[in-house]
Amino acid sequence: MDVQTLLHEPRFWYTVAFFLFFIIFGRRIWAPLAGMLDARAVQVRLELDEAARLRREAEAMLVEARQEREAALADAKALIENARAESLRIAETAQRDAEATATRRERMAQDRIHAAERAAVNEVRAVAADIATEAARAVVAEALTPEADAALIDRAIAALPASFATRIAA
């Protein structure tokens, strides 16, 4: 291509116009454009720094939450162990109390049985004494005649002084 055809070529003039435009207006356009890009870069850096700070805080909160969870689990385990120990202690106390109550009630029942036995024996003795007294009265009433009764009373009166003397000496 020669220079003559080159000057008639529209691509050549587009290229020349493009370079002249940037040579003339490049500084005026580049400064605000670079300022906008720098401002955007600063904004992006600030957002990245904020994101990094938030991430560090989140990681710290996660570590703290895990520690709190572990502490809560340890507390829960301790509470469960204490509750088990307390329930065992209460069960043992209840068993001892139940055994003591059963023993006390058994002793009371035995005392009642013994009292009932003594009352029954005393009642039987009283009834036997009443029956024996009535039987003796009946035997004496049938066996003694008025003459034998008088002789018996005379002998008893005669034996009274000797009976009193042995009692006084004793």
| Contact (Cβ atoms closer than 8 angstroms) between residue 129 and residue 122 | no
Angle at CA of residue 49, ends 45 and 52, nearest 5°: 140
Taking the complete model, does pTM exceed 0.85, yes or no?
Answer: no
Tell me the C-alpha distance between 147 and 112, whole Å: 53
What percent of the chain stands above pLDDT 70? 99
Angle at CA of residue 114, ends 110 and 115, nearest 5°: 115
The domain limits of the chain are: 3-169
- pLDDT tens digit string along 15-43? 999 888 888 887 788 788 888 999 999 99
Tell me the C-alpha distance between 78 and 100, whole Å: 33
- pLDDT tens digit string along 69-110? 999 999 999 999 999 999 999 999 999 999 999 999 999 999
